[in-house]
C-alpha cells in the first residue's frame, strides 16, 4: 500500500481513492462510466431512467425554442443531461469512411452526449464539504447524503465542472450517485441499463479505460480523426474522472472545460505560505516586544 504521509492528497497521482478514504484493503474495484458519444442517438432514455429510479423531481419542463435540448444542463433535478449540439458541418466527407459511412452527406450534423457527474479522483466538492454529507464510497464514487447536507453550498463553486447544484426550495445539493443503492445490490446504474446503444457503459474503471482506448483506435482507423477521450487520464488536473467520455469534437463544444483542475489543488501550499507568514509576524512581534523591554530597562 502506498504511504499517504507527505503526499498532497488533494491533487496528483491517486491510484486508490477508496483506500485513501478509509475503506479497507478488501474494498471492491473502482467503477465508473465510459460514455461513448459516437453512438448516442439522443433518445434520453438515460435521463428518464435516472429520474425514475432516483425519484428526481421534474426540472421545470421548459422549452428552449432553440434546440431539442430542453433539459439544458445538469442540475439538482437533472442528474443526467443529454446535450444536443447542432453543427453546420457535414455528417461525413462525401466518399469518406467512418461510423456514418453510407449516410448521405449533409450540411449539418448533431452531436449528442449524455453528461453526468464525473466522480472525480480528486473531488473538490467532497474536500470542501464541512459536514461530511459528501463522501467517497467503497467503489471510489462520490455520493451526497441528503439528510446530512446543511445547504451551505460550499461545494457548488468548488466543482470544476459546474455539476453539483442546490435545490431552490431548501438549498440542499443533489447530483448523480452512480446509483449507489443499485451497486450494493450488484446491479448497474439505471442510465447504463436503459441506454439502448451502449453509449453509457458501466464497469471497473481499468477495464473501461482499455475498452475506450480500443474504441478510439477503431474510430481513428475508420477516419474519424477528431475523436478523442476526455477525462480518462490519471495525469489530468483532477487525477482522472470516474465518468469519462469519447468525444467527436473539442470539449468546449459540449460545454465541458478543456483543462479542468481540482480547485483545492493549491490548498496545502496556501496553508504552508499562510503558516510561514504567521510565524514571521509572530517573530517580528516578539522582536518588537523584546526591544521595548530592553529600552524600558535601559531608560529606568
Binder of ligand SF4 out of 92, 175, 182, 215 (CB under 6 A): 175
Torsion region of 36: left, alpha or beta (phi above 0 gives left; psi -120 to 50 gives alpha): beta
Output 178 or 224, the one with its CB closest to ligand SF4.
Answer: 178
Return d(Cα 178, Cα 139) in angstroms, integer. 10
Residue whose C-alpha is closest to residue 241's, from 160, 157, 175, 180: 160
Does position 43 bind ligand SF4 by CB under 6 A? yes
Distances (CA, A) of 115 to 99, 188, 292: 21, 17, 64
Dist. CA 26–CA 207, nearest whole Å: 19
Query: Does position 44 bind ligand SF4 by CB under 6 A?
Result: yes
Q: Which of 139, 140, 160 is nearest to 231 (CA)?
A: 160
Task: Point out which span in 10-18, 112-120, 177-185, 247-255 binds ligand SF4 (CB under 6 A).
Answer: 112-120
**Contact pattern from residue 179 through residue 218 relative to ligand SF4, giving x for each residue in contact according to CB under 6 A and a dash for the rest:** ---------------xxxx-xx------------------
User: Which residue carries 458501466 as its cell?
Assistant: 202
Rounded to 5°, the CA angle 230-219-114 comes to 45
Under the binding rule (CB under 6 A), the answer on residue 82 touching ligand SF4 is yes
Say whether 195 sits in a helix, a strand or coil.
Answer: coil
Q: If phi over 0 gives left and psi between -120 and 50 gives alpha, with beta otherwise, what is residue 33? A: beta
* Beta-carbon contacts of residue 132 (< 8 Å; ≥ 6 apart): 148
Residue 129 in the binding site for ligand SF4 (CB under 6 A): no
List 18, 31, 111, 120, residue binding ligand SF4 (CB under 6 A): 120
Is 11 a binder of ligand SF4 (CB under 6 A)? no
Q: Is 114 in the site for ligand SF4 (CB under 6 A)?
A: yes
Indicate the residue among 7 and 68 with the shorter CB distance to ligand SF4: 68
Residue from 74, 123, 128, 179 touching ligand SF4 (CB under 6 A): that is: 123
Nearer to ligand SF4, 18 or 195 (CB): 195
Q: In this structure, are residues 225 and 101 in contact, taking their beta carbons and an 8 Å threshold?
A: no
User: 10 Å Cβ neighbour count for 54?
Assistant: 19
Q: Which of 124, 219, 227, 256 binds ligand SF4 (CB under 6 A)?
A: 124
Task: Pick from 4, 13, 29, 41 the residue near ligand SF4 by CB under 6 A.
Answer: 41
Choice between 8 and 294, CB closer to ligand SF4: 8
Q: Using CB under 6 A, list all residues that contact ligand SF4.
A: 40-46, 82, 112, 114, 117-120, 123-125, 142, 159, 161, 163-164, 175, 194-197, 199-200
Amino acid at each position: 500500500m502506498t504511504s499517504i504521509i507527505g503526499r498532497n492528497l488533494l491533487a496528483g497521482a491517486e491510484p486508490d481513492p477508496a483506500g485513501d478514504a478509509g475503506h479497507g484493503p478488501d474494498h471492491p474495484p473502482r467503477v465508473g462510466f465510459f460514455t461513448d458519444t459516437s453512438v448516442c442517438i439522443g433518445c434520453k432514455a438515460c435521463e428518464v431512467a435516472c429520474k425514475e429510479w432516483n425519484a428526481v423531481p421534474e426540472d421545470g419542463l421548459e422549452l428552449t425554442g432553440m434546440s431539442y435540448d430542453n433539459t439544458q444542463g445538469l442540475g439538482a433535478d437533472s442528474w443526467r443531461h443529454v446535450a444536443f449540439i447542432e453543427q453546420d458541418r457535414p455528417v461525413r466527407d462525401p466518399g469518406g469512411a467512418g461510423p456514418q459511412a453510407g449516410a448521405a452527406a449533409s450540411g449539418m450534423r448533431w452531436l449528442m452526449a449524455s453528461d453526468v457527474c464525473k466522480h472525480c479522483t480528486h473531488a473538490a466538492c467532497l474536500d470542501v464539504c464541512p459536514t461530511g454529507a459528501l463522501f467517497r464510497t467503497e467503489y471510489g464514487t462520490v455520493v451526497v447524503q441528503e439528510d446530512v447536507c446543511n445547504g451551505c453550498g460550499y461545494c457548488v463553486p468548488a466543482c470544476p465542472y459546474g455539476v453539483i447544484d442546490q435545490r431552490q426550495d431548501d438549498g440542499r445539493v443533489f447530483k448523480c450517485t452512480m446509483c449507489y443503492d443499485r451497486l450494493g445490490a450488484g446491479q448497474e446504474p439505471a442510465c447504463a441499463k436503459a441506454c439502448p446503444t451502449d453509449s453509457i457503459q458501466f464497469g471497473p474503471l481499468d477495464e473501461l479505460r482499455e475498452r475506450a482506448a480500443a474504441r478510439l483506435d477503431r474510430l481513428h482507423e475508420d477516419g474519424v480523426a477528431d475523436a478523442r477521450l476526455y477525462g480518462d487520464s490519471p495525469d489530468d488536473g483532477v487525477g482522472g474522472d470516474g465518468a469519462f467520455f469519447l468525444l467527436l469534437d473539442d470539449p468546449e463544444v459540449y460545454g465541458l472545460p478543456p483543462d479542468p483542475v481540482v480547485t483545492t489543488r493549491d490548498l496545502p501550499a496556501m496553508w504552508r505560505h499562510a503558516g510561514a507568514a504567521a510565524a514571521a509576524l509572530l517573530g517580528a512581534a516578539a522582536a518588537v516586544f523584546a526591544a521595548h523591554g530592553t529600552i524600558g530597562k535601559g531608560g529606568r
